[in-house]
Chains A and B, each alone.
Chain A
Amino acid sequence: MSGADLALILLILACALLRAAGLLVAGRLRADHPFVRWAASVALATLAAFIAVAIVAPTGMLASIPFAARLSGLAVALGWMLWRGGMLAPLLAGLSATAALAALTAA
């Protein structure tokens, strides 16, 4: 078994344990229990931080898109959603804006 295979198996087990622990701990709690509300708050805050980092200071390939293009894509997607609603059209509009601005910057 290679190191990559071993690492994958260990990660699969770790992720299953994290999910199982959450289901086990909160299985008998109501949705308005303070612990459940705290956990929801942490999960949402983590997601918000993930998005902010991806836009402001990403690593890897995402960093090859200029900051202005990433930010514009986000602004267009959010603006489109506020204006017309939906999810798919705002997502495509945001991606198009990013692609257009990135191409302009590269030209």
Chain B
Amino acid sequence: MIFRTACREALGAPALAMAATFLAFGAAVQAAGLGFGWGLAAALLVYGMPGQMVLVTAVALPGGALPAVLGAAAANARFLPMAVALSPWLGGGVRRWWALPFIAVTPWAMAMRRLPGLPAESRLAWFLGFGLTSWLVAGAATMLGHAIAPLVQGPVLALLLLVNPLYFALILASEMRAAPSRRAVICGCGAVPLALLLPAAWGLLAAGLLGGTLAFLWGQRRERR
């Protein structure tokens, strides 16, 4: 029951955001001269848009695969703190490993809002329902984007790429009522100059580490008072 509820929840704004972004990704894969299977594997098995886009851009450049992989992995390094933050909500058994392929920004952000309010025995089912639905939407949108790539260019592609940041901004804005989230968002935005100074793949990771650590220390200090 909770599984189906989660599937339905994933089919609103989250599905639109996923579909738009992965449609743009499918078109970018086709434009880079990469195959349909490559794009689908990247969408479903990497399942982290910044890293996917870094990889698509970088593999086309001379210099080999390794720099592309390092840059893309750095861009997706947020999976580690996300999985750490999510793990305690998924229960302690081995079943929580089923969630592994679905840990990405959209399911994670929605899960951090929803899971604390659900009974412990329903949390994993909710995450699997939401995650699986989002994952399937991402795969379908990538296939469609690859197929209709000539139609997804210029301003249309740019608008599709804007859907993701706008959607994430809405998620974060709805989280701002909680003080720890508010502090993390403020410090993350404050650390943006670091992201702009460093190479793109490393900059976001560095800004997140700095901003997130400062926000955490800020919270610790307030608790001690």
Tell whether A45 pairs with B191 under 8 Å between CB atoms, given A19-B100, A37-B219: yes
Task: State the Cβ distance, B172 to closest chain A Cβ, in Å.
Answer: 6
Selected interface stretch from B133-141, B143-151, B154-162: B154-162
- Smallest CB-CB separation from B112: which chain A residue? A40
Per-residue interface assignment for chain B, residues 186 to 219, with 1 indicating a CB less than 8 Å from any chain A CB and 0 otherwise:
1111011001100010011101111111011001
Cα A59 to Cα B187 in complex, Å, equals 22
Q: How many residues of B contact A (CB 8 A)?
A: 103
Tell whether A31 pairs with B116 under 8 Å between CB atoms, given A19-B83, A45-B185, A52-B192: yes
The SS class assigned to the A binding surface is helix
**A31-86 interface (Cβ within 8 A of B):** 31, 33-57, 59-62, 64-65, 70, 73-74, 77-78, 81-82, 86
Q: Are B212 and A45 in contact (CB under 8 A)?
A: yes
Per-residue interface assignment for chain B, residues 35 to 60, with 1 indicating a CB less than 8 Å from any chain A CB and 0 otherwise:
00010011001111011010101110
Q: Are B88 and A90 in contact (CB under 8 A)?
A: no
Cα A64 to Cα B167 in complex, Å, equals 19
Cα A23 to Cα B99 in complex, Å, equals 9
Q: Are A62 and B200 in contact (CB under 8 A)?
A: no
Cα A22 to Cα B102 in complex, Å, equals 13
For A25, the chain B residues whose CB sits under 8 A away are 84, 87
The SS class assigned to the B binding surface is helix
Q: How many residues of A contact B (CB 8 A)?
A: 74
A104 at the interface (CB under 8 A from B): no
For B181, the chain A residues whose CB sits under 8 A away are 44
Q: Are B116 and A87 in contact (CB under 8 A)?
A: no
Chain A residues within 8 Å of B, Cβ to Cβ: 3-8, 10-12, 14-16, 18-23, 25-31, 33-57, 59-62, 64-65, 70, 73-74, 77-78, 81-82, 86-88, 90-92, 94-95, 98-99, 102
Closest 3 CB pairs of A and B: A22-B83, A46-B208, A42-B212
Known A-B contacts: A44-B215, A48-B186. Give 16 more (CB < 8 A).
Answer: A3-B64, A7-B59, A15-B76, A26-B87, A34-B216, A40-B180, A40-B184, A42-B209, A46-B188, A46-B207, A47-B208, A48-B188, A65-B162, A77-B169, A88-B16, A92-B16
